[in-house]
Structure 1
């Protein structure tokens, strides 16, 4: 019998901030694919199984094009016409447009190049740990540690001048938080777009040693470079910042795993991969079927919108042993936290470098690190936000 999820949950179970919402876990228990009636009446689909999510991500018959995303999972958009993605915003495009923008960037985000940045990440991390130690407890780990590290790295890669980074970062956070009013969101988005346009013009006039300056020496237009910069910025800042904060929260709630990471430096790589799987801060993405497609014994009709639930796929019991357990020594890796297929996260190696450095450095610098408030008082981002995480993480330690 076909299972239907009537409403996408907007909150997690009390006391379970790291687990997917119960309704999604229940949907996966009924099978890897369910019907989902969108608020506007569209009969779409929700995919919760690991293999089927991975299959859709690799299948060109499922489109990422923004103009085809006519159905919102939480609200009825009515008859609003959705325009195509602006030039350069390749995350919301298919081939060949997607490849035109992604290919010039691939060589700049290789494993080797990102590992060369390790020393810089170590320096930034140490600077912020020094500042935390000097200021003394308590601290908000989000503002003191988790956000500045990826923010500085992505700003340096794009060539954002040092004096602009504070205001620039605040504008980005305001349209990524999921809690900004429509008016404020549009104002912040417009401000970031304007700033990036000015930055592209400045790099054309006076190139410096950064990715954006490199790209000005190509056939890409200013509008295209602005859109590409926005994608890099959003992908490189908000996701990693929330992984660092929510990951620390998860470690503090799993003291045996925290102790293992502190005692075994060699565990850092595996710990990062397990935290990525366990938390899946980029919770879901959508695709539109370009033709009728057989998937999991169902026919996905052409034009149907499919929600891909990464967080349930990464907790799929058919793929992972004890999937709801955080196990830094886990052997069955291969998560979908960075996606799969042509849209697999371009900056994943940079994110890995940042986390491999930051998590061990934090827990070793502050051996007595702990929450400064009860766990159920930690403020979480809403499920409607694009990226899940904590709004703030009050921590303390023995000075």
Structure 2
């Protein structure tokens, strides 16, 4: 059995815990003085339409009496480590998705701690008692069902879906609930007449694949409760990836270049945090017709350097745009063929040792600042256009 545990409004909940006077009030982390973007919003602030990634000025318009607080990202990271320590008491198979959510496979520890529901309730109770924070828990036989279950009764929810309940649980849900279906995908599914997960489940798989390609086959399998993905701890991950879906088709090369730089920064930072290096860099994008294209390059030597990853990924982007220039709806960067950070690095004859060392120092300093201030406060110039684009 799989647990998906999601800390509710994590940053804002920490602020409400640490400042009792904020409890029950709309708390907005980041975006103060109308600058920057919102990092997190308490559920009280969400009732006014405030959400993460919203420009601070817009958040102030929607919730003028909201309490804006400066983010304390090193503190949030420390609390996140405390949460993961609680997870590790019950299973070594923990796959973090971000600082505030993770999958746990408890199949191997049922004899020690009881059934999956008991384990989920114990973890939830320990988070509440020790950290004074709310968490929503989904328990199910499959990863994506556990994730939906954790989201269905937020905040502070607890939902169990057993094997014989999968179809009755999934069928009435809107297609937007399927993991990976965003606004663009939902609009396409609506155009084809699919409103609920049951509509997809009852449709012929081959016909759906003919209309939507491999994505259609993937959706059909999920709608039928088929998800063979295992919980993979970060230390065992075969690749690290990051992607973005756009609300509208994008064809401007400079904009796509900026997004790729941002994705490289994110994946490279995660790579270093997990003590890994990558031997392969990959780029993929999906067109508006849902056809997906990908290209990768094997490096001469493993790397965890942001500058190297950006150079390779942007070269792949330039090559792919020459052969497939149509507008893009999704773009992603992946790092694979992972090895330990202590793997030997062979410097090319054409590398400048001074430049390489300088880039490593830049990465080290930026990682430290990201831990203290959040990764939206300092970044490379290449990702500026994407990071500063208003998103509501």
Using the size of structure 2 for normalisation, the TM-score is 0.26
- The structure with the largest strand share of the pair is 2
